Amino acid sequence: MAWPRPDRHPVTRVERFRAARRDPELAVLEGFHALKHALRFDAELLEIVVAQDGPALRLGCELAPDVLERLSCARTLPWHEYAELAPLPHPTGAIGIARRRQATPAEVLGVPGTQPLVLLESPAHLGNLGAAVRVAAAAGAGGVLATGPHDPWHPEALRAAAGLHYALPVAWVESLARGTRPLVAITPEGEDLGSAILPPRAVLAFGTERSGLSEEVLASADHRISIPMMAGVSSLNLATAVAVVLYAWRLRDPEGC
Ligand SMILES: C[S@@+](CC[C@H](N)C(=O)[O-])C[C@H]1O[C@@H](n2cnc3c(N)ncnc32)[C@H](O)[C@@H]1O
- Termini Cα distance of the chain: 31
182 to 149, 195, 197: CA distances (angstroms): 25, 18, 12
* Displacement of CA 121 from its chain's centroid (Å): 14
Residue 78 and residue 210: Cα distance in Å, rounded? 42
Residue 245 and residue 122: Cα distance in Å, rounded? 19
Is the CB of residue 218 below 6 angstroms from any atom belonging to ligand 1? no
Q: Which of 99, 124, 142 is the last residue of a domain?
A: 99
Per-residue confidence band for 155, with pLDDT thresholds at 50, 70 and 90 = very high
CATH number for the domain including 151?
Answer: 3.40.1280.10
What pLDDT does 253 receive?
77
Q: Which of 99, 130, 153 is the last residue of a domain?
A: 99
Residues 149 and 249 in one domain: yes
CB of 55 within 8 A of CB of 93? yes
Is the CB of residue 213 below 6 angstroms from any atom belonging to ligand 1? yes
What pLDDT does 53 receive?
84
Is the CB of residue 235 below 6 angstroms from any atom belonging to ligand 1? yes
Residue 7 CA to ligand 1 centre (angstroms): 39
Residue 125 CA to ligand 1 centre (angstroms): 14
Is 80 exceeded by the pLDDT of residue 8? Answer: no
Residues 226 and 161 in one domain: yes
What pLDDT does 178 receive?
87
Q: Which of 60, 75, 99 is the last residue of a domain?
A: 99
Residues 213 and 149 in one domain: yes
Does residue 4 fall inside a structural domain?
Answer: no
Which of 122, 211, 227, 235, when mutated, tests ligand 1's pocket best, judged by the most ligand atoms within 8 Å of its CB?
Answer: 235
What pLDDT does 223 receive?
97
Residue 51 and residue 117: Cα distance in Å, rounded? 37
Residues 57 and 146 in one domain: no
Is 90 exceeded by the pLDDT of residue 67? Answer: no
CB of 71 within 8 A of CB of 39? yes
Per-residue pLDDT tens digits for 159-195: 999 999 999 999 999 998 888 999 999 999 999 999 9
Residue 242 CA to ligand 1 centre (angstroms): 9
Number of folded domains that form the chain? 2
Is 80 exceeded by the pLDDT of residue 256? Answer: no
What pLDDT does 17 receive?
96
Is the CB of residue 110 below 6 angstroms from any atom belonging to ligand 1? no
